[in-house]
């Protein structure tokens, strides 16, 4: 099991919009960064990830899971670009802000702090558990 962080601008695609998709989920399309694409290629069914609102809010608002492996991104004809599908698992009861993450001594090496512009990021298990704790998830989904 691996952990990830998916960034989205809420006015384009929000956590509420992902939740509305239900069990079918939604493809995480439009990613045009090789490292982010490679992160998606490494994902397995059931991997969990934070859903992070970027630009507006700047906070982890939910937990999602990978529900389809990397496949061609249907928003382009360019075969270089792939995406996974994700679905909502649960809300983070108390959204965890970027400010909170940056202020936490144990999260200084988290990709959210060190690689802020990357739209799909790896998260260590320790980071996952700590951000879940900060967000009020005492028994986080795994």
Confidence check: pLDDT of 1 > 90 = no
Tens-place pLDDT, residues 45-67? 999 999 999 999 999 999 999 99
Extended strands (E) in the chain: 3-8, 26-27, 48-53, 59-72, 82-97, 120-123
Provide the 3-class DSSP secondary structure of residue 96: strand
Q: What is the mean pLDDT of residues 98-106?
A: 97
Q: What is the pLDDT of residue 106?
A: 96
Looking at residue 129, its pLDDT comes to 97
Query: Does the structure show a pLDDT above 90 at 37?
Result: yes
Residues 6+ apart with CB under 8 A from 97: 57, 58, 59
What topology does CATH give the domain 3-135?
Answer: ph1033 like fold (3.10.590)
* Side-chain-facing half-sphere of 47: CA atoms under 13 Å: 28
Q: Does the pLDDT value for residue 116 go beyond 90?
A: no
Q: What is the pTM of this model?
A: 0.96
Give the angle 99-4-18 at the CA atoms, nearest 5°.
85
The alpha carbon of residue 55 and the mean position of all alpha carbons in its chain are separated, in whole angstroms, by 15
């Amino acid at each position: 099991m691996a952990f990830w962080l998916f960034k989205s601008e809420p006015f384009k695609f929000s956590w509420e919009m992902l939740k509305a998709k239900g069990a079918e989920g939604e493809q995480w399309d439009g990613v045009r960064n090789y490292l982010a694409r490679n992160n998606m290629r490494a994902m397995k069914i059931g991997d969990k990830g934070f859903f992070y609102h970027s630009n507006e809010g700047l906070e982890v608002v939910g937990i999602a899971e990978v529900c389809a492996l990397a496949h061609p991104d249907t928003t382009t004809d360019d075969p270089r670009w792939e995406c996974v599908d994700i679905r909502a698992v649960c809300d983070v009861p108390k959204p965890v802000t970027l400010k909170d993450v940056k202020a936490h001594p144990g999260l200084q090496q988290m990709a959210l702090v060190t690689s802020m512009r990357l739209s799909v990021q790896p998260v260590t298990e320790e980071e996952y558990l700590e951000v879940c704790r900060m967000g009020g998830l005492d028994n986080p989904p795994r």
